[in-house]
């Protein structure tokens, strides 16, 4: 990884400045992720505050920043369209309950068992996702379009061109240059904060034109209100339309210009209220699937980010405490009408790079964000920040997050590890984090099983008309074929002994293989003895009492993975 991390000691100034920097970067990200999920920007902003504040206090990793994230927002989109906000808030609450249970059951520690190749794929994939998300902010002329496949309405835009594009790219490059070169001159002030201030002043006090945070939020709110209004109108008219008229009317409605005022929702974000859904098993069935998906994605991203920060800061967080902290944060988030969240690798990297090492930086970031939400004068100041400056900040985060050394490992590590890295990276971008990590673990497990299957060897000793096979290595489902190929029943002598002292039998597939081999020898009229086989194996080998040689002092005693024995 390119080392853009600045080594800093804990001190109050660094924590405060780092927290303020993170808060500035959180605003457009929270708004953008809210629109990804199909909810009001306030829902995303309150989620960023609530989740960030609670996890900073209760979480297991000082210096890690949590809030509304794209990984969770993506899986919320279709759910919100189908069932509405109240069901989403209920699912977020249930997600928190599941995460707390994971912490109590100490599931958090298992993240450290993930293969390093999966971690590399996760980091690279998430860096790509963060980078791609920034390009969406280079679009203008946001408008509503009709999606014939899903029979609903979406928000689309046109790519910037000409002078606006060149101006935006210039501001992005300037932001990145300040962040990169300022630490070479002084480390007294975080380069990220200086870059945001300089670019903001440049835009405000020169004729230079750029889209600001306030422009971004106002435009998105107006388009979102128009989209929701058109969805309502379309659903009302669909019942009166013929099947072949639906798409045509959808296209007409999407093209119709409408100025829809942005009104306050009946359920305002930031206000305590138990989600108003029927307390029935049907409702539980609706929210359970989304809750489990959100819990899995949230914990995977949080725990893997925790592990990454552990490596960067050479400290150690508490995975189980982080599970509980994330769970409490999501429960409170759902009850206060926000979309929930988890650890944010981008903002966490900004915080660590700016000198944030303790819980204080996360608390400052959350409280600063709260001030932005509830105090209009502060929002007006933050609203003047050019979106281009924040894009530049996130591009620096992408560069720092991506594991560049993995690109040079293609001919230095096993092909299977490189395959896992590429697969997890690609699936993180194409699907979501939970699917990508699960796929990486499965691939790694299959590769491990295949490699272990070739590690069973045998030494053959012949004496006094008896052939002895001395086995060495694990015997499990993956090694069954190799095990069977070690023997030659037709050419072996009349007396055969299989020695298991250096061989452990792991599962029922291995037992079936042993039983098959012994049956082959017995069908040929030959005598076979099994030595030093565990008591569990002896009990499970049917009709084999006459072929097992029992050695009370030498036979091993261990459990094997089989339901037959456990039952």
- pLDDT category at 372 given cuts 50, 70, 90 is confident
- Exposed, middle or buried by CB within 10 Å (0-12, 13-18, 19+), for 422? middle
Q: Round to whole Å and give the CA distance between 50 and 89.
A: 14
Q: Are 330 and 99 in contact (CB under 8 A)?
A: yes
For domain 454-566, say whether CATH 3.30.70.360 is its number: no
Instruction: Map residue 115 onto helix, strand or coil.
Output: coil
| pLDDT tens, position by position, 50-64 | 999 999 999 999 999
Q: pLDDT value at position 267?
A: 53
- pLDDT category at 2 given cuts 50, 70, 90 is very low
Instruction: Map residue 361 onto helix, strand or coil.
Output: helix
Q: pLDDT value at position 559?
A: 57
Q: pLDDT value at position 172?
A: 94
Residue 124 has pLDDT above 90, yes or no: no
- pLDDT category at 198 given cuts 50, 70, 90 is very high
Q: Are 254 and 145 in contact (CB under 8 A)?
A: yes
Q: Round to whole Å and give the CA distance between 513 and 534.
A: 15
Residue 567 has pLDDT above 60, yes or no: no
DSSP per-residue letters across 25-45: HHHHHHHHHHHHHTS-HHHHH
Q: Region 5-10: what's the mean pLDDT?
A: 54
The lowest-confidence range among 55-59, 120-124, 260-264, 453-457 is 260-264
Q: Are 541 and 560 in contact (CB under 8 A)?
A: no
- pLDDT category at 322 given cuts 50, 70, 90 is very high
Q: pLDDT value at position 92?
A: 95
472 has which bridge partners?
457, 502
Phi, psi of 294 (to 5 degrees): -65, -40
Name the average pLDDT for the chain.
83
Q: Give whole-number Cα distances, 49 to 42, 272, 363, in Å.
A: 11, 15, 9
Measured between alpha carbons, how far apart are the two ends of the chain, in Å? 50
393 has which bridge partners?
none
Q: pLDDT value at position 239?
A: 78
Q: pLDDT value at position 552?
A: 40
Residue 416 has pLDDT above 80, yes or no: yes
- pLDDT category at 562 given cuts 50, 70, 90 is low
Q: Are 195 and 9 in contact (CB under 8 A)?
A: no
Q: Region 327-343: what's the mean pLDDT?
A: 93
Q: What is the pTM of this model?
A: 0.69
| pLDDT tens, position by position, 136-169 | 778 888 888 888 887 788 888 888 889 989 999 9
Residue 252 CA neighbour count, 13 Å, CB half: 8
Q: pLDDT value at position 550?
A: 46
- More confident position, 500 or 324: 324
Q: Round to whole Å and give the CA distance between 294 and 93.
A: 10
Q: Which two tokens stand for residue 121?
A: 């794929």
- pLDDT category at 235 given cuts 50, 70, 90 is confident
Q: pLDDT value at position 6?
A: 44
| Every domain range in the chain assigned CATH 3.30.750.24 | 454-566
Residue 66 has pLDDT above 90, yes or no: yes
| pLDDT tens, position by position, 22-59 | 888 787 777 767 766 767 778 888 999 999 999 999 99
Residue 546 has pLDDT above 60, yes or no: no
Q: Round to whole Å and give the CA distance between 260 and 246.
A: 23
| pLDDT tens, position by position, 246-295 | 888 888 888 888 877 766 554 567 788 888 899 899 999 999 989 998 99
Q: Give whole-number Cα distances, 168 to 137, 210, 350, 484, in Å.
A: 10, 7, 22, 67
Q: Round to whole Å and give the CA distance between 550 and 535.
A: 9
b/e map 51-77, b = 16+ CB within 10 Å: bbbbbbebbbbbbbbbbbbbbbbbbbe
């Amino acid at each position: 990884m390119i080392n853009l991390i600045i080594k800093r000691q804990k001190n109050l100034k660094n924590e405060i400045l780092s927290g303020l920097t993170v808060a500035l970067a959180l605003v457009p990200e929270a708004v953008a992720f809210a629109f990804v999920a199909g909810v009001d920007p306030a829902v995303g902003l309150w989620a960023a505050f609530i989740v960030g504040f609670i996890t900073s206090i209760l979480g297991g990793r000082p210096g890690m920043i949590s809030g509304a994230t794209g990984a969770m927002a993506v899986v919320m989109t279709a759910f919100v369209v189908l069932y509405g906000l109240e069901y989403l808030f209920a699912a977020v609450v249930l997600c928190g309950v599941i995460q707390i249970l994971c912490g109590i059951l100490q599931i958090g520690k298992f993240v450290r068992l993930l293969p390093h190749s999966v971690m590399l794929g996760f980091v690279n994939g998430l860096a790509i996702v963060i980078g791609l998300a920034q390009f969406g902010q280079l679009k203008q002329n946001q408008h509503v379009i009709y999606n014939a496949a899903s029979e609903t309405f979406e928000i689309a835009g046109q790519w910037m061109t000409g002078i606006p594009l060149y101006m935006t790219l210039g501001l992005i490059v300037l932001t990145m240059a300040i962040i990169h070169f300022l630490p070479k001159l002084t480390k007294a002030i975080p380069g990220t904060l200086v870059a945001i201030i300089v670019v903001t002043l440049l835009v405000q006090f020169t004729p230079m034109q750029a889209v600001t945070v306030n422009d971004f939020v106002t435009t998105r709110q107006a388009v979102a209100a128009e989209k929701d209004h058109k969805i309502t109108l379309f659903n009302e008219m669909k019942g009166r339309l013929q099947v072949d008229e639906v798409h045509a009317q959808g296209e007409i409605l999407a093209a119709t210009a409408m100025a829809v005022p942005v009104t306050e929702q009946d359920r305002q974000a930031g206000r305590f209220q138990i989600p108003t859904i029927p307390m029935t098993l049907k409702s539980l069935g609706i929210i359970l699937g989304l809750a489990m998906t959100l819990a899995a994605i949230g914990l995977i991203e949080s725990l893997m980010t925790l592990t990454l920060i552990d490596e960067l800061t050479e400290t150690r967080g508490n995975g189980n405490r982080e599970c509980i902290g994330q769970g409490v944060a999501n429960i409170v988030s759902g009850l206060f009408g926000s979309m929930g969240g988890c650890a944010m690798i981008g903002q966490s990297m900004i915080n660590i790079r700016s000198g944030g090492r303790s819980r204080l930086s996360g608390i400052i970031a959350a409280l600063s964000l709260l001030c932005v939400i509830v105090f209009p004068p502060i929002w007006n100041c933050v609203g003047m920040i050019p979106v281009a400056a924040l894009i530049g900040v996130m591009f620096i985060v992408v560069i720092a997050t991506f594991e560049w050394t993995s690109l040079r490992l293609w001919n230095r590590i096993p092909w299977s590890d490189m395959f896992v890295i590429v697969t997890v990276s690609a699936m993180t971008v194409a699907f979501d984090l939970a699917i990508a990590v699960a796929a990486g673990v499965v691939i790694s497990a299959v590769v491990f099983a295949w490699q272990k299957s070739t590690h069973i060897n045998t030494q053959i000793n012949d004496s006094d008309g008896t052939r002895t096979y001395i086995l060495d290595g694990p015997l499990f489902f993956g090694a069954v074929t190799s095990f069977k190929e070690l023997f030659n029943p037709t050419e072996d002598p009349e007396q055969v002994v299989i020695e298991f002292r250096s061989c452990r039998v792991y599962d029922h597939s291995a037992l079936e293989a042993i039983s098959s081999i012994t049956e082959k020898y017995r069908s040929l009229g030959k005598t076979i003895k099994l030595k030093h086989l565990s008591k569990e194996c002896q009990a499970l080998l049917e009709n084999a009492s006459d072929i097992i040689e029992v050695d009370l002092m030498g036979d091993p005693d261990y459990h094997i993975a089989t339901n037959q024995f456990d039952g």
